[in-house]
Structure 1
Amino acid sequence: MSSTQEQRAERVGIDELLDRVRAGYERIGPEEAAAAAADGALLVDIRYAALREADGLIPGALVVERNELEWRLDPQGSHRAPEAVSHDLQVVVICNEGYASSLAVDSLRQLGLHRVTDLVGGFQAWRSAGLPVAL
């Protein structure tokens, strides 16, 4: 098989990639995320500024835009957030609708953060569930 044929055989679409990534961990719903936060889990909002400004924030969530996430949550990293204390930290990643957060979870798990998950439906599901939002 030529290298071009091998590359074609390895290609996956985003839907398949999301399925593969999500098969490796259990996602949680809004109420479970709120309960996890109450038990000490770190909620991490990766939405970009315009969405946060338009829709509000989850009180107590750490805001880290997606392009900085790995640097801010790596407990060994020189640019880590003060909250990034351990690879055992329970983290719930939240994007707007629950897609980008799944890919972010995969990246964080590659850094050894084994207790990372994401919120099914993202911030929109949180808000729809009537959970607290600061405007």
Structure 2
Amino acid sequence: MSSNEASLISPADAAAADAKLIDVRSEKSRIEFGTIAGAIVVDKADVQAQFGDENSDRSEPIVVFCGSVKGSGPVVDELKELGYTNVSHIDGGFPAWKEQGLPTVS
């Protein structure tokens, strides 16, 4: 099992988690399909810049989502490389979140 598979959580568990939600989808995808309320938009190329601060709480729970786990998996790995210890991503990505009827915003 790869670290990415070990990091997967269900959309329902992600919704119930008291975690920072990180949306790494493209702007086009967010405009077309919406997002999760309160999610922070992070460009995949800017993960180091946004999360590399030495003063960041590396134990803070973080849930990353994209259109699929192929998009969020590399971001999860990068956050773990930066020392974050409580990072996961949504199994099935944002489409699975919507399919389960969980709340979204335009």
| TM beyond 0.5 | yes
For 2:92 and 2:48, the matched residues in 1 are separated by: 22
Q: How many residues align?
A: 106
Which residue of 1 is the match for residue 11 of structure 2? 30
Gaps of 5+ in 2: none
Structure with the larger RCO, 1 or 2 (CA within 8 Å, 6+ apart): 2
The 4+ residue runs of structure 1 with deviation greater than 3 A are none
What's the RMSD between the two structures over aligned residues? 1.6
- Is this contact kept in 2: 1:44–1:61, CA < 8 A? yes
TM-score, structure 2 as length reference: 0.91
Q: Is residue 7–residue 87 contact of structure 2 (8 Å, CA) maintained in 1?
A: no
Q: What stretches of structure 1 of length at least 5 have no aligned partner?
A: 1-18, 78-84
* Alpha-carbon distance in structure 2 between the residues aligned to 1:120 and 1:70: 23
Identity in percent = 34
More strand by share: 2
What residue is the counterpart of 1:134 in the other structure? 105
**TM-score normalised by the chain length of structure 1:** 0.73
AA at the equivalent of 1:110: E
What is the CA–CA distance in structure 2 between the aligned matches of 1:75 and 1:92, rounded to whole Å?
A: 18
Q: Does the aligned pair in 2 maintain the 1:30–1:125 contact within 8 Å?
A: yes
Quote the residue 2:72 is aligned against: 101
| Amino acid in the other structure paired with 2:81 | Q
